[in-house]
Structure formats: structure tokens, C-alpha cells
Structure 1
Amino acid sequence: MYLLEGRVVSLASDDEQIDFLVVGGGAVGLLSAFLLAKEGLRIALVERQGTGEEASWAGGGIVSPLYPWRYSSAVTALAHWSQDFYPLLAEQLLAETGVDPEVHVTGLYWLDLDDEAEALAWAWREGRPLRAVGIDEVHGAVPGLGAGFSRAIYMAGVANVRNPRLTRALREALLRMPNVTLREHCPVQGFVQEAGRVVGVRTADEELRAERVVVAAGAWSGELLAGLGIELPVEPVKGQMILYKCAEDFLPSMVLAKGRYAIPRKDGHILVGSTLEHAGFDKRPTESALDSLKASAVELLPALADAEVVKHWAGLRPGSPEGIPYIGEVPAHPGLWLNCGHYRNGLVLAPASCRLLADLMLGREPIIDPSPYAPAGRLG
């Protein structure tokens, strides 16, 4: 191990050939590296900043798409697999690292939906435990809920994961693995190609070579691939959130109305989000968004009017068409693989996406049909 800008970094010996190199240290990149390293492969991960400092840190961590019935079957398949796997992943990471990702099962109430009938029909088709409930039942379960709502549906078993702790646990797990190289604050400037194959990446200081390269760089994936002439329709979509600190039992369940949600952490922190803004790579928080989020918070939970905002921040989601990620090899560039473009559902879909990637890279039977996510035919 060595120290880089205050961070302890595990480094395989320089004479070892890297099997797979992962570009991007968010939840998707970290988990991709973790699952591949578990197979005994020699893995390198490079991240332009510190790991887990972008969208993976900024999100709310609900282990469900906000409106799962509004997505395609491709997103649903990944979401269902991930939801079932998350508790096992959290237990494994806690046992290996001592860092608890805090998968917190609270259930989720959707309030005053315009498409409630469609939601219930979707749940029946998919076998998900979503049901209509009386508003009095909601007020009994969530005493702090505002009075302005009349209808609700509820799904038991929906969890949230404390995403900064998830990425911290994954980072710690990688540091403990002797077959993993982790390089932070190491921006990739381009790709190395030989004989028609992608065989590595270029940084400011060196070339890093590997048998295969995986791009999992979130909102920055499109810019990175543009250097190869690849048009990846992934763009940054800004989201802002605020955080309150309340009593641990203040909010027993997640609630969502008018596109805004409140998420309880186990220690009483309450996250309220989120905005949806097309502002390029500008992730500065704004006063207008703060005012809007506060208004939503008070509408959902009136007692928050007297609570202090502990923190206000913004992050950049990797926006993509229909929110369907790109998972697989790029046909025109052998050796180059993608695991990116998860839009609003990176944390939700990460376990299934990374397992599917590993299955494809290792030639195993995939957990689900990989064709909807294949880059072939979807890139410009």
C-alpha cells in the first residue's frame, strides 16, 4: 500500500499484467471491480477524483426506481434482481470491512398519484407487494405526514441504502484484496489501441494496459468515449438535495409525492430531494432549488419547517435514453466494455448491472437476458 493525497491505496506489483481495468470509482465501478476481483482476476480501478464522490455520494439511495411502473422491462429486470441481492451484499461488506452500508427497510408510500391504476396493474403483473391504502392508515404509520393528501399506495419491503457508506465499504473491500490496484485522483485522458483493440488507458503520467477496459464513469462516460469517435447518449443531469437531522423515530417510512421524496436514515437524518436540471457539468447548489426543496419538505412533513437544513448539495446523474444502461462490449472496439448510463437508478441497478457485466466478461450464463443493454446498435 502507499499514500496518495492523504489516501491509502493498494497497489499490485508493477510487473503483474492487469486482466481488467475499470474506469470510474462510483458505486457501479467499485462493485464491478469487486465482483471481478472475487473471481481471482487482477483488477485495476482508476478514478478522476476520490472514489464515491460524485452521483453515488449525492443520491438518496432508495433501492427502487422512484416510479418503477413507468420504466421498461429492461430496467425492471435489473431492479428486481438488485432489490433481492442488496441485503446479502450489505452483510458481506460489513463482515469483510466492518463498514455497514445500512440497508434500511422502511417501505415506501406514494401519495396522490395520477397513474395509480397503472401502478397497481404493474404490481399485479410483476408480483410486487404494492397495494392501495387509506390515507388514515398512512397517517397512522407516518404521524408527521402533512394533511394535504387524499390517496396512497404502499410497497412493503422497499429499503434505502446509505450510499456514502456503501461506496466506503466497497473501497475498503478493494483495498484489502491483493489482486486489486486502486488509483484515485488519476484522470483518464484517452485510450490505448493496438491492432484494432483497446488495450489500456492513458493518464497524465503513464499508460495502464489491460486485457479489457470497462468504462463506468457515470456522467463523464460520454465525454471519455468521444475520444474514440463513439457517440454515447449519456449526459449530466443535475440533482439537488437537502438533509435534516430529526429524532430517530421521526419518519418511520419513506414518502413520495409530486416527484419529491423524504428518506429516513437509521440515525434520524432525513433526506429530501430531488431536482431534475439540465445544466451541463455545473453542479453548484442554488438558492432557488433550496427554496423549492424546503417547500416540498414542509408539504410532506410540516414539522420540518422548524428544523435546520444540515446540508444542501448537488450531483450529476448519467442521463440516458429511457434510463436503460449500456452493459457489454463495444463491437467496433474489441476490448472496450461499458457499464454506464444508469440515469436516476445507479444505486438501485448496480448489483444486477455489475453481476451481468461479470457474467458476460467471464463467459458465464447471464443472470438475465443481456440484449436490452448491449451497446451494439445503440451507439452513434
Structure 2
Amino acid sequence: MALNIVVGGGALGLLSAYKLALQGEAVVLLDRAQVGSESSWAGGGIVSPLYPWRYSPAVTALAHWSQDFYPGLGEQLLAQTGVDPEVFVTGLYWLDLDDEAEALAWASNLGRPLASVPVSKVYDAVPVLGPGYERAVYMSGVANVRNPRLVKALRAALLNMPNVTVHEQAAVGGFIREGARVVGVQTALGDIRGERVVLTAGAWSGELLATLGLDLPVEPVKGQMILFKCAADFLPSMVLAKGRYAIPRKDGHILVGSTLEHCGFDKTPTEQALASLKASAIELLPELADAQVVGHWAGLRPGSPEGIPFIGPVPGFDGLWLNCGHYRNGLVLAPASCQLLTDLMLGNAPIIDPAPYAPQGRLGAR
């Protein structure tokens, strides 16, 4: 049985390992800290790009496949592990969009359930919404997933699979090569050799590819969020206005995010961001002024050109594969990205055209 080494234990790495293992492949998953503790833990978990009509068809294709897949994945992981990822279908309201006409045209062209709704109906459906909004569009069927529980469930599922080994606190420092072939990785635990190496290290993927003299255009983009505790029925739907969103969890926690900051690998939460996020939260949902803030954190998204991920083999380095660079949509795109990767690695018919995501022609030399 050929061994597959997956480097990086976020949602993309966990789900890549899971899908490969379900196909009978042997997998070693490596993470430099604890799996799922970076951007996969920190994000909001909306199972849609924030503004899906603003993305290329490449991102849309992955998003649509994943949106249909998530409910079943949540049920499967709950049955396997007893951990519920809480895939919560609430729908999503966008308020006072500048490009509403483009959004409606996109939905009409692709047959997506997004439509203009009278703002009075939004206030009926979401009584806690702040005053002054004049226009709204709504997409039914949009879910959010409780991402910390998703990664916990995936970790538990992998630990129960006999063909999977998970190593945490196992930083990878470089690759082992034999001629043009990558045959393993150098880790804090020693060298590990395998038939294939999959790089799913998020914002850190570029740092690792640089050790091979390759320039991967993936950079860290900091995002900060805050978490409130409210009654379980406080917010019945996700809402988004002026680039900020509020996401209800099933137990009444409300996530509000997020910032976009280019400041390297610094993920220190700041008072400035906290104040900005609180102001946005209270403008959207005025009753949050009296709610308890129970969390404030930052994560690092793997920023990439146009948000199009890199999925496929690395040219000139046989045995090395990428599944990274998902920018703001890692959780949204993960199921489709990992299925596409698995299809390509195992020679199966791919679920969608793999060409837009291929590393070929998209990597530079350092």
C-alpha cells in the first residue's frame, strides 16, 4: 500500500487525508501544532463565498459542489464520531448591495436561489436587525458549519481509521528528493518517506515550497472576529452589510467578522479591530450592545490571486501535490477541493474540470 503524506492539518489537510483513506490509501497527516488550530478554527464557516457573484467560475464550481455535499458530510461525521459539526441551514440576507443587479443576474444565469426581497419582509424575519436598511437580497439554503467542531470531528474520524496516522507537533522543514522526485519530508520527528506528498499548509504553504526554489503566490491575510453569547433564537438567519456579517450558531452564539489585514504572519488581536467589529455588530444588530463578548481572535487566511486555489501535481517535482491557496473560502471549498485532489491522485474521473486549479503555469521561480 503506497503511503501518502499530507502536510498541514487544517480543514483541507484533514479532509484530504479522510477522502484518501476512504479510498483505502495509507495516510500520514503532519501538523506543526495541533490539527485545525489555525484559519480553519478561526473562520466563520459560512458555506458560501461572501459575495459569490464576484468570483470566477473556477471558485463557483467548487463552491456549488461543496454546498450540496456539506449536509451529508455533517451527518456522516456525527454518526462516525459522535461530534456534530452543526451544519446549520439559515439562509443569508445581503443588505444594501452596491452590485445588486450583478448578483441577481448571476443567480438567474446559474439557477441559484438568490432573489430580491422587500426590506419589510427582512425586518419581519429578523426583528433584531438595525434600522435604516433599504434593500435586500436573500439566498435560501445557505448553511454555516461550526468549524471548530468540524475539525474536531475530522480529527476523531481519522484517529479511528486503521490506515491513518496523525502526528501533531511535527513541523515539516523541507522535502526529501531523489532526482526530480519528491519522496518524503523532513520533520521534527525525523524523515518520513512516502509515494506522494500533499501540501495543505494554508498560509504557510509558500514558505515550504520556497525550499524547492518555487514561488507560490500565497500570502497570509489576517482576519479578526468577535463572538457574542445570546439567546438561542436571537438571530434566525445570517446577515451581511458593508462587508461585515453576523452568523448565528444553534446555541445562540453570534459570530461577527471580519477584518482583512496584510501584516505578515502576525495574528495578534488588536483593540482597533475589536472596536471596529463591535461597531459593525451594533449597527447590524443593535441589541448586541448589551451582549457579552465571549471571544476575540485572529487567523491567517491563505491569500491567492483571485482566490483560486492550487490543486494538482507540481510540475517538475514528481510525487508532490498541492491543495492550498483557498483565501477566504477554505471551508466553503474544502469538500470539492479534496474530492478533486483525490480523483486526480488516484486517476479517477474528476468531479469538475481541474484545469483552472492546476499549479502548472501558476508557480514562479525564486
Q: Same fold (TM over 0.5)?
A: yes
Give the residue type in structure 2 aligned to 1:329.
P
Does the alignment pair 1:61 with 2:42? no
Which one of 211, 218, 227 corresponds to residue 227 of structure 1? 211
Q: Distance in 1 between matches of 2:18 and 2:79?
A: 15
Cα deviation 1:266-303 (Å, max 9, x = unaligned): 00000000000001000000000000000000000000
Match of 1:6 in 2: none
Question: What is the CA distance between 1:83 and its match in structure 2?
Answer: 0.1
Q: Distance in 1 between matches of 2:120 and 2:132?
A: 12
Which one of 183, 188, 195 corresponds to residue 167 of structure 2? 183
Cα deviation 1:146-191 (Å, max 9, x = unaligned): 0021100000000000000000000000000011010001000000
Which one of 65, 72, 76 corresponds to residue 92 of structure 1? 76
Identity %: 76
Give the residue type in structure 1 aligned to 2:81.
T
Q: Does the CA-based 8 Å contact 1:18-1:209 persist in structure 2? A: no
Give the residue type in structure 2 aligned to 1:312.
H
Q: Distance in 1 between matches of 2:338 and 2:165?
A: 18
Q: Distance in 2 between matches of 1:141 and 1:210?
A: 54
Give the residue type in structure 2 aligned to 1:292.
S
Equivalent position SS for 2:225: strand
Cα deviation 1:80-119 (Å, max 9, x = unaligned): 0000000011111011111000000000000000000000
Which one of 302, 312, 319 corresponds to residue 335 of structure 1? 319
Q: How many residues align?
A: 364
Does the alignment pair 1:258 with 2:242? yes
Cα deviation 1:226-256 (Å, max 9, x = unaligned): 0000100000000000000000000000000
Match of 1:121 in 2: 105
Does the alignment pair 1:349 with 2:333? yes
Does the alignment pair 1:29 with 2:20? no
Equivalent position SS for 1:227: helix
Match of 1:300 in 2: 284
Segments of 4+ in structure 1 off by > 2 A? Answer: none
Q: Distance in 1 between matches of 2:74 and 2:289?
A: 34
Cα deviation 1:193-236 (Å, max 9, x = unaligned): 01210000001331000100000000000001000001000000
Which one of 200, 204, 207 corresponds to residue 188 of structure 2? 204
Equivalent position SS for 2:214: coil
Q: Distance in 2 between matches of 1:148 and 1:304?
A: 17
Two-structure CA RMSD over aligned residues (Å): 0.6
Does the alignment pair 1:310 with 2:299? no
Q: What pairs up with 1:280-291 in 2 under 5 angstroms?
A: 280-291=264-275
Q: Can you give the 5+ residue segments of structure 1 that lack an aligned partner in the other structure?
A: 1-16
Q: Distance in 2 between matches of 1:369 and 1:204?
A: 37
Q: Distance in 2 between matches of 1:147 and 1:378?
A: 46
Q: Distance in 1 between matches of 2:93 and 2:179?
A: 55
Which one of 270, 279, 287 corresponds to residue 254 of structure 2? 270
Which one of 178, 198, 202 corresponds to residue 214 of structure 1? 198
Q: Distance in 2 between matches of 1:100 and 1:373?
A: 31
Equivalent position SS for 1:249: coil
Q: Distance in 1 between matches of 2:329 and 2:215?
A: 22
Q: Distance in 2 between matches of 1:72 and 1:355?
A: 20
Does the alignment pair 1:47 with 2:31? yes
Give the residue type in structure 1 aligned to 2:251.
D
Give the residue type in structure 2 aligned to 1:79.
A
Q: Can you give the 5+ residue segments of structure 2 that lack an aligned partner in the other structure?
A: none
Q: Does the CA-based 8 Å contact 1:198-1:333 persist in structure 2? A: yes
When normalised by structure 1's length, the TM-score is 0.95
Q: Distance in 2 between matches of 1:25 and 1:148?
A: 43
Q: Distance in 2 between matches of 1:191 and 1:88?
A: 36
